Structure 1
Amino acid sequence: MTTAASHLLFILEGGEGYGVMRVWDTLLRGLPARGHRVSVLLLRDNATLRARLETQGIDVLHLPVASPSPRGSGRAQKVWALGRRGVAQLGLARRLAREIRARGIDTILLQSPLATMLAALSARWSGTRAFWMMPNSVSSGYPLDLNRRVYRALFRAGPLIPVANSHHTDGTLGPGHYRRHVLHLGIDTDTFCPGAGAGLQSRAALGIPEEAPLLGLMARITPEKGQAELIEAMSLAGADAHLLLCGGPLESRFAGALREQVAQAGLQDRVHFAGPQADVILWYALCDVVLNTRTDPEPFGLSVIEAMAMGKPVLAHGAGGPSETVIDGETGWLMSAPTAAAYAEGIARALADQPRWAEMGAAATAHARAHFSENTMLDGLGALLSR
């Protein structure tokens, strides 16, 4: 798709996590290749990231930023910290608006919810527009639904436009009459493809029999990723499948509790902790079925479409994004609840379909290539930019 070239300003926090940065990397590589000019504002100094961006030929704005992030878990603390950040961003927004006008920037792109006010004010004062590429669901942890009320006020006042990564994520904004869009994420389906990484990682080195069904979960070792429920489900299912857990940290108290849970269930020979991995492709290739067991609704789930693109059927908790990416019974299976019992039922269902794994994997690849490629995402964003 060809669109009129824009001069885009990306607002980055400077400390983005794996999934968020993967999306930024795709856009920062793909949009210039389509003729768009790109600049970046880093809200937090990150010398490594700044050097990498400059190596790519990307203009990095250097503005002094004093923008405190919310700290603490109490509601009052969150509201106070957000208020302080809002005040700090007022001055920055005026300086940024001047830079935007001077550089001829016409569109702002951001992901961090903490930068929405900055983007909205800068866009209004510079006569441009801002697209908030929502990476996560909107929290309900603020009193009087304050955060949603603030967001909706910014949307109605324009020119901040939310672009959610799933219909689920969009729904967490609540109702409202303003411009809003849903744009599913995309991955490089030439990199994540059937056969990629095959043979580069050994099952034998992990103590996994070559013929054993292997289920894999690629996720941080944190409670909301569902490892505890999954280990209990492995015990309940009583099958001969093995479970590979790729992610860290392995030194945390929660990881220690998981190891103790595995020992108490007698699953030491069937549950394998691989730790955090820089190249997940090798580990996807090792698995027969890839899991997503997040206990709260997954906003989108990059691991789901990465695994499908590689020809792996996916077993996922159906809340949130996976319900929009996995076709139940065709490209994988959806589990009804984030409980050990539901996960055990899902594992049993997936193992019963073992004769269909190759067929389901081929369907998963075709589905990912058709709907969740980088080009599909870039085409969708290009259509928004051209409006």
Structure 2
Amino acid sequence: MADIDIAAEGGRPLRVVQILPALNAGGVERGTVEFARELARLGHESIVISSGGRLAKTIESEGSRHIDMPVHRKSLWSLWQVRPMRRLLTELAPDIVHVRSRVPAWIAWLAWRKMPVATRPRLVSTFHGMYSVNVYSAIMAKAEHCIAISHCVEGYIRENYPQAADRITLVPRGLDPNAFHADACTPAWCEALYEQYPQLQGKQLILMPGRLSRWKGQEAFLQMMATLTQRRGDCHGVVVGDAEPGKQHYLQELLAQRDALGLHDKVTFVGHRNDIAAFYGLAAITCHMSSKAEPFGRTVPESLAAGTPVVAYDRGGAAESLNEAFPEGLVKADDVGAFAERVASLIDHRRHISLPEEYYLQHQVSATLKIYRNLLDKSAL
């Protein structure tokens, strides 16, 4: 895919500040890191404000600046950060402030609204979720422009925040084609993986990626694997992802459930990995089994970009990308038996999968820069 030319996007480089709670694991975090990298690569000045995390060093190594600030606490104590944020934004003088979560949005908005209207940055929010509808969540709709990451999120905004209806643009989260492709799984990588996990070698790997959380579907995955392995002894489940800090007890619950289902030698938990793209390339099937509608479901297009089929419940944003590229992977929501049957039927039948351009990073960057430029053009009038 061709690079985006800054001049074609409207002229001068921009100074963009993204604000999110932390930089650990998760789709929002990874998306912020990738977008920051692209901004820097294209000659824009990219700054990320967060409370830190394992990805903060990546931010800086890829050309952006990271500023550590406690913008993550869901507490009234976070209001103490409003004045420091206002001072920081005044010092940085960005063109754009882009908020990606509710607590940072409150801090940034309260700081931003008291800045001089003529010189303050333009304020953009991305709805990464379909939040509970209340005053706390309404802050995301107070931005000058709102980005929805899927059709279902766009519908949620229009239904619950009608005052924002003319300030919404749909921009699907884009994946990096240099990271997610069919050749990401190399022989050397496989050799290293099998040395660490010899039980995976020679198996049809059924992949379950995502952080360990009750609503992400790992429990349903284990139930599905119990059914699937009764039909096919050549299948082995691989759960990629770790529990959030302070929630490691959930991993122990899952391990106990695995053993109770007789899956000790049929499902492997590999924890947090930085090589998920290679796992997609190795897997026979990727599973998406969230117990509620996800706003996007990043693992679905990532796997499809690697050419690996996905089986997912037919709901939410995950169903949108699957409908576009591999509709035969859709299963009635919460039907674990039907899910196992669909996985079994697809294992031996590789198909050509073509993911639409709007699910790639180049489209996301171009569309988001267009939003930025339009806002800045309006402020110049």
TM-score, structure 1 length as denominator?
0.79
Partner Cα distance (1:315, 1:22) in 2: 23
Pick one of 316, 333, 336 that aligns with 2:332: 336
Aligned residues of 2:37 and 2:59 also touching (Cα < 8 A): no
Q: How many residue pairs get matched?
A: 349
Could you say which residue in structure 2 is the equivalent of 1:8?
Answer: 16
1:301 pairs with 2:303 = no
Rounded Cα–Cα distance in structure 1 between residues aligned with 2:70 and 2:178: 41
Give deviations 1:134-176, integer Å, cap 9, x for gaps: 3333135xxxx22244444x24xxx3x2212212233344241
- Aligned partner of 1:176 among 132, 140, 162: 162
* Native 8 Å contact 1:188 1:374 kept in 2: yes
Tell me the equivalent position of 2:370: 383
Query: C-alpha separation between the residues in 2 aligned to 1:290 and 1:91?
Result: 46
Q: Deviation per CA, 1:329-378: give whole Å up to 9, x if none.
A: 836512322x3xx122022123223453x21xx21xx215x231111111
Give me the whole-angstrom Cα distance separating, in 2, the residues matched to 1:265 and 1:56.
44
Residues 60, 371 of structure 1: alpha-carbon distance in 2 compared, 3 angstrom cutoff: closer
| Unpaired segments ≥5 residues, structure 1 | 71-80
1:15-45 residue CA offsets vs partner (Å, 9 max, x unmatched): 44332221122111112333323334x3436
2:230 corresponds to 1:242: no
1:374 corresponds to which of 331, 346, 361: 361
1:291 is displaced (CA, Å) by 0.8
Please name the residue that 1:38 is paired with: 46
Mapped to 2, the partners of 1:61 and 1:68 lie a distance apart of 13
2:224 to 201, 225, 233: 233
Shift of the alpha carbon at 1:193? 0.8
Write the distance in 1 (CA, Å) between the matches of 2:57 and 2:257.
43
Question: Per-residue deviation at 1:294?
Answer: 1.5
Sort the Cα spacing of 1:276 and 1:128 in 2 relative to 1 into closer, same or farther, 3 A.
Answer: closer
3-state SS in 1 of match to 2:16 = strand
- Between the aligned partners of 2:341 and 2:95, the Cα distance in structure 1 is 53
Measured in 2, the distance between the counterparts of 1:68 and 1:380 equals 28
Which residue of 2 is the match for residue 111 of structure 1? 100
Q: Find the counterpart in structure 2 of residue 253 from structure 1.
A: 249
Q: Which runs of 5+ in 2 are unaligned?
A: 375-381
Q: Secondary structure at the match of 1:177?
A: helix
Normalised TM-score (structure 2): 0.80
Amino acid aligned to 1:234: M
Counterpart Cα distance in 2 of 1:67 and 1:127: 20
Please tell me the root mean square deviation across aligned C-alpha atoms, in Å.
Answer: 3.0
Change (3 A) 1:225 1:198: same
Report the CA distance shift for 1:22/1:343 in structure 2 as closer, same or farther (over 3 A): same
Q: CA deviation at 1:326?
A: 0.5
Q: Could you say which residue in structure 1 is the equivalent of 2:177? A: 189
C-alpha distance in structure 1 between counterparts of 2:9 and 2:216, whole Å? 39
- Letter of the aligned partner of 1:383 in structure 2? K
Alignment check: 8 A CA contact 1:96 1:122 kept:
no
269 and 384 in structure 1: CA distance in 2 versus 1, 3 angstrom threshold = same
